[in-house]
A and B are shown apart, each in its own frame.
Chain A
């Protein structure tokens, strides 16, 4: 129970300022990235018409997410954006699922990870919007329907970053807190596997998909 809300931090003072590193999150993020690179190598090594099991999983992920990207954007743009969408989904899925393993923590449990990913999506969406429509048309969208709506439109755009990142963070952290507290209450008997199956596997997969789809939709709204 005492684990609740404890973070191991590394504080390095540089020129009067403290630089704070959340060690757990950084280490776990690197583990997830390493596993993904390993998965990529395994899936694309010895490619064959009759694929090996890892290649099947890789092909499924890539082709399904490519199809979703193509539905939302057009064919030309989906070529440049689908690698991003696929990588985002795979990273989030593995990040959410890695908490099942004892002593591993989900990187998405720390607000910094979802917030930076959400901010990344925001920047990419607006960059795509400016590139597709030109700066003038892009800026004009803020002054609709009337010019004095501009501040509220800007707040609305910023609140998208807040909502997308807090949704992922709240779900993953909520799931892990519930697993921790309920397992503690029942002395870790019977219930924990079911809790893990629901909150980690099920909710984790859904929230990874929702985050990816919303990033894609935000790009599509800016582009079209």
Chain B
């Protein structure tokens, strides 16, 4: 029987590794392709500095690939670790880790492609701004990676924490739910913060004098668009660290799994929506810097309203975890 469980855990690790790398490859590839497309457009606009644009494209693509490299690391660890304390719970945990990292890398990969592409276009437009645009691109893409970092944290915790003492039945569903909550919620946040970063690169090329203001509003906008993924992280932590009474009822397990799904899916829309708000606010600060404080306020209020759906999802998830 012991061998039987061990081989099942191996199966879960392999499936998790495949999902992690397979899903994780989606986003980064789209983002890098976007950057390359914009770089081509930029080179045909200003062929004289094609060497600089090419270098900038490669740097931007390297940052956009970070999310896929996270997936690769998780995939390799899942493949080559040996699982001495094998139980059914670690099956759920490993599968959850793979799903979490796989879904979590999609948004950040696509998102960090936007600043790379817009920075290439911006350099073609304002070659003098090369240094400042590169810095701006790096800051923007690094912040867009935050949701992928959250997913990686949850994946590591699912792989390395010891859950063996917990009762089998609700806990395995809870661990799968923990992986899905952060993974799914990160999709929208990564994409949204990429939109804001792209707008800031475009804006600083348009209006080089206002780079400081543009960077500040970009960071605030990105930070708020990442809130849904933080709600996902919170629900994942609650699901992982709460102790559950043993229960054979299907309902108890399903409640915990759907708590993860609820916050996960609920976070996609607000993440993208908040990113769009931030994108537009950043674009307009670049054009009309005198109205910065009004733009910032209306951006924050608009984001707060569109974020309320993520808050509803989190309330339902907490109710599913604690009341049922």
Contacts and interface: CB of A to CB of B under 8 A. Distances in A.
B142 A221 contact: no
A5 B153 CA distance: 11
A163 B152 contact: no
B97 to A, nearest CB: 13
Interface of A: 1, 4-5, 68, 71-72, 152, 155-156, 159, 162-163, 166-167, 170-171, 173-175, 177-178, 181-182, 185, 198, 202-203, 206, 209-210, 213-214, 217, 220-221, 224
B152 A217 contact: no
A76 B144 CA distance: 36
Contacts of A162: 230-231, 234
Contact of B311 (A152, A181, A198): A152
A61 to B, nearest CB: 15
A21 to B, nearest CB: 20
Interface in B238-277: none
Classify the secondary structure of A's interface with B: helix
B166 interface: no
B16 to A, nearest CB: 16
Interface in B282-304: 292-293, 296-297, 300-301, 304
B223 A167 contact: yes
Contacts of B146: 167, 170-171
B contact patch SS? helix
Contact of A167 (B76, B230, B293, B304): B230
Contacts of A220: 293, 297
A203 B156 CA distance: 19
Contact of B216 (A159, A166, A171, A213): A213
B260 to A, nearest CB: 17
Contacts of B70: 178
Contacts, number: 95
Contacts of A72: 293, 296
Given A173-B153, A224-B297, A167 B216 contact: no
A163 B231 CA distance: 7
A71 B219 contact: no
Given A170-B230, A177-B153, A178-B149, 14 more contacts: A72-B296, A152-B312, A155-B315, A166-B230, A171-B149, A174-B153, A178-B152, A185-B76, A206-B142, A209-B219, A213-B220, A217-B300, A220-B297, A221-B301
A166 B233 contact: yes
A181 B230 contact: no
Interface string B135-156: 0001100110010011011001
A1 B160 contact: yes
B149 A221 contact: no
A41 to B, nearest CB: 30
Given A156-B304, A198-B142, A68 B311 contact: no
Which 4 interchain pairs have the tightest Cβ spacing? A174-B149, A163-B227, A174-B153, A166-B230
Nearest to A165: B230
A72 B220 CA distance: 12
A1 B161 CA distance: 11
A201 to B, nearest CB: 11
Contacts of A71: 292-293
Given A159-B231, A167-B230, A217 B296 contact: yes
A206 B143 contact: yes
